[in-house]
Structure 1
């Protein structure tokens, strides 16, 4: 069966070789809450869909309009089997409960590396910040090189904000994007870090300037979320 959990996912769990992220637009805070509850009820009424699904998490956007979904699969074949046999009936039930949901985007990723300072390991995040980086065309080598440069900048940061807990970097399978799933103590801590001297998170150092002016970097989007629902096999 399916059970709820308040625990955040372990982004470093190597079993999840196919982490997926997607967003829905639902429109209002009330519909955010209704959609989360509809997801929970739809899934809890059914057996866990596949051994290849390790966990499914839902987050409410601080824009009060969107939901972020994060599913953790052992491989893409497990997801494709679910897609063919079980997904549609769940989607239909959720859409009946909350009509008019817009499904905006689904991204397939691979976890590449994480940055978790030793003094912050084990802390429970109060806010999830998703940083979506898009490059001009596919280039897996550029994806990895850019992430490596970001981690170097983080490790050498002279004034790290104490509210930052971790950063987990994922590479899109099409070679065009990087997604940083960043855990923060609170939304306020993240806002304070953004307001500090420098362009975004990080001081005005040469390493951060290199990250921000990387050749082929097309756009950066930052969104904040609260963890609203975790589902696990019972």
Structure 2
């Protein structure tokens, strides 16, 4: 069974979130399979101990892959992608040309909101963002959003997590939701699959279920 990542896991020193713009549902599915396959192979072959998990989500409109990567540290991630990123991206781009990658953003978890009776056994998530303004704006947005969700959590929302980027210029809300739930201003995604660190393997990289652009 597919399982969404735990954004609050204590060994995750850094969380990288990136979008791949793929434009169509078919390209979205093919790119997701290719990315999960590449990361599964690299994790098995090189066993990077600092790599914890890569989770790949498909946006509901079929245009975007959302990639959530968890590592123990920024330095370990950067060292790994310096050595392996170029070959990985080249192989994926030969199979699915034209993917646009704005680049990953490094986030730190700042708030967790757990509604009473929250259920997180869902593979759907809603992601909402803010960016721009002064460096303190994202911090304030995260504080206000967390307070609002604690006071009035939307029906069907699981444990929500608020992140602020390393440079404090961007904020991000990540919240599991049921099929019937939604969060204003957010984009819904479903989990395609995940690759765990060297001690585990690939979770749901099949049909049921990204240094610029690669987490």
Greater C-alpha radius of gyration: 1
Cα distance in 2 for residues equivalent to 1:100 and 1:128: 26
- SS across alignment from 1:39: helix
Residue deviations 1:145-164, cap 9 Å, x none?
Answer: 4323322222222xx43211
Residues 23, 104 of structure 1: 8 Å contact kept: yes
Residues 142, 164 of structure 2: 8 Å contact kept: no
Mapped pair 1:156 → 2:120:
no
- Could you tell me which residue of structure 2 aligns to residue 34 of structure 1? 30
Cα shift at 1:49: 5.1
Cα distance in 2 for residues equivalent to 1:9 and 1:222: 18
Q: How does 1:106-117 map to 2 (within 5 A)?
A: 106-117=104-115
Q: Is 47-56 or 74-83 further displaced after alignment? A: 47-56
Q: How does 1:212-223 map to 2 (within 5 A)?
A: 222-223=186-187
Residues 2, 123 of structure 2: 8 Å contact kept: no
Cα distance in 2 for residues equivalent to 1:166 and 1:185: 12
- Could you tell me which residue of structure 1 aligns to residue 81 of structure 2? 83
- Could you tell me which residue of structure 2 aligns to residue 119 of structure 1? 117
- Could you tell me which residue of structure 2 aligns to residue 225 of structure 1? 189
Cα distance in 1 for residues equivalent to 2:64 and 2:135: 27
Q: How does 1:1-234 map to 2 (within 5 A)?
A: 6-46=2-42, 47-48=45-46, 50-121=48-119, 123-139=120-136, 142-157=137-152, 160-186=153-179, 188-190=180-182, 200=184, 222-232=186-196, 233=198, 234=200
Cα distance in 2 for residues equivalent to 1:41 and 1:103: 18
Cα distance in 1 for residues equivalent to 2:140 and 2:6: 24
Consecutive unaligned residues of structure 2, counting only runs of 5 or more, are 201-215
Q: Is 68-77 or 161-170 further displaced after alignment? A: 161-170
How many residue pairs match? The answer is 196
Consecutive unaligned residues of structure 1, counting only runs of 5 or more, are 195-199, 201-220
Alpha-carbon RMSD: 1.9
Q: CA 1:86–1:182 in 2, change beyond 3 Å: closer, same or farther?
A: same
Runs of 4+ displaced beyond 4 Å: none
Identify, as 1 or 2, the structure richer in strand: 1
Q: CA 1:129–1:15 in 2, change beyond 3 Å: closer, same or farther?
A: same
Question: What is the TM-score normalised by the length of structure 2?
Answer: 0.83
Cα distance in 2 for residues equivalent to 1:44 and 1:177: 30
Residues 125, 177 of structure 2: 8 Å contact kept: yes
